[in-house]
Amino acid sequence: MKRKKINVAVIGATGYVGLDLLYLLSKHPRVNIKYLCAKKNVGKPIKYFDSRIKKKLPKISKINNILWKKINLVFLSLPSGEAQKIIKKNIKHENIKFIDLSADFRIENVNKYKYWYKKKHFAKNLIFKSLYSISEFVKDDIKKFRIIANPGCYPTSIQLPLIPLIKKKLIKLENISIDSKSGYSGAGKNFKKKFTHKNLNESVFAYGIKKHRHMSELDQEFGKASRSSVKYSFNPHLIPMFRGLLSSIYLELKNKSNIRKIHRELQRFHRKNKFVRIVKINKTIGTGNVINSNFCEISVCETRNKNKIVIFSAIDNLVKGASGQAVQNMNLIYKFPESMGLK
């Protein structure tokens, strides 16, 4: 029996995330890609931008060409501020669900969105009809929503180990230090313009100190998990590789906690989460094991101080940190096998 496919449109198809998303969707057995949309390069084939994509797909078109009644799901991989306008205009089409890979529906408080992203929100009445969706945390709820806010790459790598520990009250909620290093693809295709004269191909560059936009997600989700204030510092860096992300998270343990309890809780929480691997205590990890995959690998390690530990969390910033998690969320929405089309 031939299984029915869903019809999909991808808006913002030619950026790093959009291309990774198309590569995954082109191999997904339950997806029919109907539209690839971008502002530039209209009429060009997608193979022009990514030779990995072997399947014959529609040529790039403008959003105006979409026949919305024929679409089940829209992925939006756009700069912040753009997706909200498209969704607001087309939410009237009740047959469509939206997965937004920008920040437009991640932040529940519109004033905080404006503070962090320097943009007014034009679809604020839709925010509470959306769901912030790290896949491992929303499996029971995601089907109820039409707008899915795909999280940022840094928050994904940080929350997968931290949220379970915060909820179980195993760690102190102050003096948390998070040091994250990402491949330069995390800055987008225009990274050379954003970081002029920084020579990112040959150097490590710290940026967004004290004010990286992803802190807005961490503030919000840490607050929900703890129901109190979580005091942390977050320092991101771009490093001279294309993809991959490693977060080093330094924590103080509560008096009755220890590294084995931390490790056991992460194993327990993620035991049914196919794409999260908890390795042995004190095992060193890097991005090599997760590149081009939807996996998050987590290691819990001792430090020289008895009451302090460091947790390492490695993902591919373009896959688990963006396109792969979007496909995982799609699978959950439509009750496909969660790992379908992913590795």
Q: Which two tokens stand for residue 40?
A: 């530039």
Q: How many CB atoms lie within 10 A of CB 107?
A: 24
Q: Is 296 designated active site?
A: no
> d(Cα 245, Cα 286) in Å, to the nearest integer?
9
d(CA 208, CA 214): 9
Query: CA of 313: how far to CAs of 201, 244, 289, 298, in Å?
Result: 23, 11, 11, 5
- Which of 103, 79, 221 has its CA nearest to residue 163? 221
Backbone angles phi, psi at 123, to 5 degrees: -135, 40
Nearest to 33 by CA among 43, 46, 42: 46
d(CA 120, CA 114): 5
- Residue recorded with tokens 């947790």: 311
Closest CA to 130 of 89, 109, 99, 160: 99
| Cβ contact 245:314 at 8 Å | yes
Catalytic residue among 37, 153, 296, 301: 153
Buried b (16+ CB within 10 A) or exposed e, 116-152: bbeeebebeebbeebbbbbbbbbeeebeebbbbbbbb
DSSP symbol at 240: S
Q: How far apart are CA 62 and CA 39, in angstroms?
A: 6
Please give the structure tokens belonging to residue 80.
Answer: 């912040």
The answer to whether 165 and 265 are in contact (CB under 8 A) is yes
Q: List residues with catalytic annotation.
A: 153
